[in-house]
Amino acid sequence: MTYRFRIPATALLALSLLSACGSTQEEHAEGDAHEAAAEEYERGPHRGRMLRDGDFAIEMTIFEEGVDPEFRVYAYRGDQPVAPGEVQLTVGLKRLGGHVDRFSFKPQQDFLRGQGVVKEPHSFDVQIRAVESGKTHSWSYASYEGRTTIGAEAAKAGGVKSERAGPVAISELIDMAGRVEITPEGKADVRARLPGQIMSMNGELGQAVRRGQTLLRVESSHSLQTYSVTAPISGIIVEKNANVGDVTGDRALFVIADPTKLHAEFFVYPRDAERIRVGQRVALRSLSGEARLEASVEAVLPTADLISQTLVAHVHLPPEAANLFRPGMGVEGSFAVAQTQVPLAVRTKAIQRFRDFEVVYAKVGNTYEVRMLELGRRTPEWTEVLGGLDPGTEYVTDGAFLIRADVEKWGASHDH
C-alpha cells in the first residue's frame, strides 16, 4: 500500500537537508539495512519467509487475521512438511533500544505457534534457534518497518525536536463561541454639561486622544459664556455625532474607546452553566486559528437571555491582546473546566498517521521508529496514551512529518 500526504512548501528545504546532511557512516549502514530488509526473499507455501540450513528449513509467518499478531512457523525437510512436534524452536526479537522479546513455541495442527503476541511495530532484529533430529539450526535477519536514521545536524536543520513522555495534567475542555468587546470601563461618552451651541471641535473620527484633552467648545444658552468639553478617558474616537454649529442635547457628542481594555464575551448554554467558574483558564483563538492566547474567566453574569437561555461569561484579555484581536471579532474559546493527572501523555501535535495507526516517532540516538499508540483523552495540547509507548521514551514533538517523510522514502512495508 502507498501512503501519500502533503508536505508544506516551507518544509521542502528541510527535507533536502535531511537527505543531504545525514550522510554519516551510521546512516549508510542503516540505509544498507533498509535495502536488505526491502529485498525480496524466498517465500514459502504460506507466503512466509523461508530460512534454510541444508535440507532443513522453516517458514516464518506472523498471523494476524482475527487474532492478535502471533508467530506461526512451518518446518520442512527436503521441502516436505515436518511434524511440528519434532522441532523445538525459540525466537528472540531485539527491539530498537536493546530490549529483547523472547518466544517459545508449541505444536498446533501443522505449525508451531508462538506463545505470545508479536507487538507492533513489527520492527526488530530476529534471532532463531531450532533443534530437529538432534541438530541445531540458527538464523538471524533484520525486519524493519517505520524506522529511519538521521544525523543530529540534519535533524536540527530540519527543525526536529524531541522530549520524553511522562505524566501530564490533562484539562477537560468545553468549547464555546464568543466575541471580543471593549470593557465597560474602556468606553466613555463625551457630553456637554450645559445646553448650548458648538463653537469649535478638535476631535475627529479615529483620532487618538488623551484624558483631559479639549475636544470642543460650547457657548452656553443660559450664560452665553463659552466652556470647554474634554476627553474623560484616553483612547480612540469611535463615534462622532455632532458638528460645529449644532446645538448640544442629551446625546453623546463623541464616543471614546480604549482598544487595550478588552474582554471576550462567551455564550454559555444551560448544560454547561454549572461548570463554568471564575478563574478558569481559557485558550482563545481567532476564527482563522492564527491568533491565540491564554486568559481567564473574570465574571459569569447571573441573568440568562430570555430567548436562548444562555448566560454570558466574561474572559479578561491582557493589554497585549489588542495586537491580536479587535472589538467585534468572533473568537472561539476552550474552557478548562477540570483537570486530570494521567500517567502518560504525548503532545497532540506529535501524533502522525502510519498505516491504520496513530503513532509517534521514538528516538534512540539518531534512529527514529514508529510507536503505535492506544489513545485516551485528547486536547489541542496533550493526548493521553493508554498503550504502545513506555514511560520515559524520547519521542519527536516537532518536525515529526519530516521523520515520516524519510520513513515513507524507504517504504511503509508491513511484510512478513
Peptide bond into 121 cis (omega under 30): yes
Residue 414: band (very low, low, confident or very high) from pLDDT cuts 50, 70, 90: low
pLDDT beyond 60 at 23:
no
Q: Which of 308, 230, 240, 228 is nearest to 268 (CA)?
A: 308
Cell triple for 384: 493521553
239: β partners: 255
Residue 39: band (very low, low, confident or very high) from pLDDT cuts 50, 70, 90: low
For 173-182+260-338, the fitting CATH number among 2.10.109.10, 2.40.30.170, 3.30.300.20, 2.40.50.100 is 2.40.30.170
Residue 411: what pLDDT? 58
Distances in Å between the alpha carbon of 69 and those of 63, 95, 120?
6, 16, 9
- 131 CB contacts (<8 Å, ≥6 apart)? 87, 88, 89, 137
pLDDT beyond 80 at 199:
yes
Mean pLDDT of 241-266: 94
Residue 2: band (very low, low, confident or very high) from pLDDT cuts 50, 70, 90: very low
pLDDT beyond 70 at 9:
no
Cell triple for 10: 516551507
Strands (E) in 258-366, as ranges, are: 262-268, 281-286, 292-300, 311-317, 330-347, 352-354, 357-364
Assess contact for 160 and 350: CB atoms under 8 A: no
Residue in this structure with the C-alpha cell 521542502, named with its chain if needed: 12
Which helix (H) or strand (E) segment holds residue 342: the answer is strand 330-347
pLDDT beyond 50 at 341:
yes
Assess contact for 60 and 140: CB atoms under 8 A: no
pTM (whole model) above 0.75 = no
Residue 295: what pLDDT? 92
Q: Which of 191, 238, 233, 195 is nearest to 216 (CA)?
A: 191
Computed over its alpha carbons, how large is the radius of gyration of the chain? Answer: 35
Pick the range with the lowest mean pLDDT from 3-7, 101-105, 228-232. 3-7
CA 360 to chain centre: 11
pLDDT beyond 80 at 19:
no
139: β partners: 128
Mean pLDDT of 266-281: 89
CATH architecture for residues 187-254: Beta Barrel (2.40)
Higher pLDDT, 171 or 256: 256
pLDDT beyond 50 at 173:
yes
Residue 416: band (very low, low, confident or very high) from pLDDT cuts 50, 70, 90: low
- 50 CB contacts (<8 Å, ≥6 apart)? 41, 42, 43, 44, 57, 58, 59
Q: Name the 3-class secondary structure at 402.
A: helix
CATH T-level assignment (fold) for domain 37-145? Immunoglobulin-like (2.60.40)
Q: Can you give the residue ranges of every domain in the chain?
A: 37-145, 173-182+260-338, 187-254
77: β partners: 56, 80
Q: Which of 372, 368, 373 is nearest to 395 (CA)?
A: 368
Residue 26: what pLDDT? 46
Centre a 10 Å sphere on the Cβ of residue 326 and count the other Cβ atoms it contains. Answer: 12
Residue 55: what pLDDT? 95
Pick the range with the lowest mean pLDDT from 141-155, 291-305, 391-405. 291-305
pLDDT beyond 50 at 85:
yes
Residue 22: band (very low, low, confident or very high) from pLDDT cuts 50, 70, 90: very low
Assess contact for 313 and 299: CB atoms under 8 A: yes
